Structure 1
Amino acid sequence: MPTVKAIIRKNKVNLKGECVVYIRYGHMEKSVDISTGIRIEPKFWNDDKQKINSILGLRKSKSNEDLLKEKEKSDLYANSGIDKIKSELIGIARLLQHDDIEPETHLVKEKFLDKKKPKTKLKIEDNLFTLFSEFVDNSSKSDTTKRNYRTVEYHLKEFQKFKKRRLALKDFDIKFYDQFKQFLFNDLTKPDGTKGLSDNSATSTIKNLKVFLTYLEKRGYDFQHIIPHLKATYQDTPIYFLTEEDIVTLYEHVFESKKLEKVRDIFILNCYLGLRYSDLSRLTKDHIVNDVVELRAYKTLKDIYVPLTPIAKDILRKYDYELPMMSEQKMNEYIKEACKQAKIDQKVEKISTSSGNKTYKQIPKYEVITTHIAVKTFISLCCKKNISPKTVSIITGKTVKVIMKHYLGMDKSTVKDQMIKAFA
């Protein structure tokens, strides 16, 4: 079991009477001392607490109050640095153990010192967008996530045009971040001609920009002056879903267009499967065992286990288990038209937030229908059928927290039924 302990070597002091604070890392009866770079007089070291205490034995008075506060502040900073190094060493040891590597003393020290090596200085000739393309190409994320990364690249290029100068890596500082954020919220022109992104769209851009800079950081570039400041929070949005009545209406509607009929079938199927579109797109008969869909999610690598309902079976058999899939973009376009023709047009409230300002608008439900709504419909149906969130978590591979916050919607009849039963 790896251990860490802060120590000093009282027999090794410099001309000022100071000695170095070391962190002693131990594993399997071997140990190695790693310097913290902190020097103190031995009398100020508390060996039991492994802390520096520079005011030990000093009495507080009005004359030395400011001095004592300064010493306390200095001790706090130094002790925090000592604790941080302890945590880093234990973290390195745990990562090695996770990879089935014995965290031997020399390995842990080597990895710790590697992390402390000076970062590569940014070069003027390093091309921002060349590096961004490499970042996207090297990513193992889904195609949808890669498209989101490309959106960041597009926004950076638009910001470059707005500023009328070429963006370079050396520009990425707090001033850049403040200006870029202002641009996203107020000045970026959208395809419909309006200006400014919604809060959640801007948040997505900021979070993915942070992913890009972290990618560069791991490859030797230094962005620690900005990465910790790239903070943005998603605003909660309404959870749209189809009710059972909506599903029946859509499923029984007779379309003149075979294309819309196929789109409707794919969408309804996923209202009973709850799969990400990327997983639905690769669904084959081989994934179905004893009327249960079993596959590993492409995005999260978590196992998905979905028993088939009668309607899901009928749709799969209709296409002989070879679904007529299309791009998600086309699917989102056509499912709106299908729902419009089926008169899924009851009013829902759309809330948009930009720069913290909310606008409310009543629109027909078909306008908010996308492939993602099928997943929310599936989870909401499960709730109405009294399937526990924990069971839904096992089925979908999503955490209970994510399900409760982003996917679970309740129609008015469900709320009414539960209230009547609760207070009957």
Structure 2
Amino acid sequence: MLNEIFNEHNKQMELLLEVKYSLSTLKQFKTTHSHFVEFLKFRYKISDIPVSDIDIETINNFDYYLRTVRKCNNNSTVKYLMIFGKIIRIALLNGWIKSDPFRFYTQKVKTVNRTILTEEELNTLLHKTFPSSRLELVRDIFLFSCFTGLAYIDVQQLTKNNITTGIDGAKWIFKNRQKTETPSRIPLLPIAESIIQKYHQDPVCLNQDKLLPILSNQKMNAYLKEIADVCGILNSKAP
């Protein structure tokens, strides 16, 4: 059954955390598994399926579910399917299925053209008053990324231990980049430091040893589009 293969794979990943896999990669596999189980319940009224029953129709239906019910964009959908495909290929390599149904899956990740914010747009974002605390939080996380140059995954992993006072007396962020594994030393600018201070008593920061109470990447992207609309910034400029 598919759940058994998924669970066994994820358990092996947990044993190899920080050796071969990152926590974010493990979360992606667990999220994909969770989405597929919910898809089975939604579409077929079941919670598991024999791996031999998975065909291109099942795959395309899962793709459609992610885009419509889960509201995933194209690239998120394709990345979930790529992870799912890795599980299917495990079954193929073990001889549990005779052919790979993903050979018929044709969707691709699309290149996203991003343009930078103008100084005026950045100032608008910085001084905008939002009607809800969640939009304010997402704005603050985005600004923190802007003033540190850190990607979402790197901001998500930050703890108080990443903040160090340098020999110049100024505060710095010391962090190994997730994607490149290269060490970074980033000066903590006043705006970024003020954002840290704003949330240092947040329950997520206190209970989970996080520098900032960051939301999931999917929620961040969705709320950033809403923020772009509120601020009159073109959506193509929102991450």
TM-score by length of 2: 0.63
Question: Residues 367-420 of structure 1, C-alpha deviation per residue, up to 9 Å, x if partnerless?
Answer: xx4xxx2xxxxxxxxxxxxxxxxxxxxxxxxxxxxxxxxxxxxxxxxxxxxxxx
Question: Residues 307-356 of structure 1, C-alpha deviation per residue, up to 9 Å, x if partnerless?
Answer: 2244334434555696451432665565555555xx4224446xxxxxxx
Rg (Cα) greater in structure: 1
Corresponding position: 1:292 with 2:166? no
1:148 to 16, 19, 32: 32
Question: Residues 5-63 of structure 1, C-alpha deviation per residue, up to 9 Å, x if partnerless?
Answer: xxxxxxxxxxxxxxxxxxxxxxxxxxxxxxxxxxxxxxxxxxxxxxxxxxxxxxxxxxx
**Equivalent residue number for residue 74 of structure 1:** none
Asked if 2 retains the 8 angstrom alpha-carbon contact of 1:295 and 1:304, the reply is yes
TM-superposed CA distance for 1:153, in Å, is 3.9
Corresponding position: 1:307 with 2:191? no
How far apart, in 2, do the equivalents of 1:256 and 1:234 lie? 34
**Equivalent residue number for residue 171 of structure 1:** 53
- 5+ unaligned residues in a row in structure 1: which ranges? 1-126, 350-364, 374-424
* Structure 2 counterparts to residues 384-403 of structure 1, below 5 A: none
How far apart, in 2, do the equivalents of 1:260 and 1:198 lie? 20
TM-superposed CA distance for 1:246, in Å, is 1.8
How far apart, in 2, do the equivalents of 1:154 and 1:129 lie? 12
TM-superposed CA distance for 1:251, in Å, is 1.1
TM-score by length of 1: 0.40
**Equivalent residue number for residue 10 of structure 1:** none
What is the SS of the residue equivalent to 2:145?
helix
Give the direction of change, closer, same or farther, for the CA distance of 1:253–1:202 in structure 2 (3 Å limit).
closer
How far apart, in 2, do the equivalents of 1:320 and 1:157 lie? 40
1:244 to 113, 119, 138: 119
Give the direction of change, closer, same or farther, for the CA distance of 1:248–1:144 in structure 2 (3 Å limit).
farther
What is the SS of the residue equivalent to 2:173?
strand
Greater relative CO (CA pairs within 8 A, separation 6+) = 2
Give the direction of change, closer, same or farther, for the CA distance of 1:171–1:302 in structure 2 (3 Å limit).
same
What is the SS of the residue equivalent to 1:295?
strand
Give the direction of change, closer, same or farther, for the CA distance of 1:138–1:345 in structure 2 (3 Å limit).
farther
- 5+ unaligned residues in a row in structure 2: which ranges? 15-24, 206-210
What is the SS of the residue equivalent to 1:305?
strand
Q: Which has the higher strand share?
A: 1
Asked if 2 retains the 8 angstrom alpha-carbon contact of 1:136 and 1:149, the reply is no
**Equivalent residue number for residue 325 of structure 1:** 213
**Identity percentage of aligned residues:** 24
TM-superposed CA distance for 1:270, in Å, is 1.2
**Equivalent residue number for residue 131 of structure 1:** 5
Corresponding position: 1:264 with 2:144? no
Give the direction of change, closer, same or farther, for the CA distance of 1:202–1:267 in structure 2 (3 Å limit).
closer
Asked if 2 retains the 8 angstrom alpha-carbon contact of 1:149 and 1:208, the reply is no
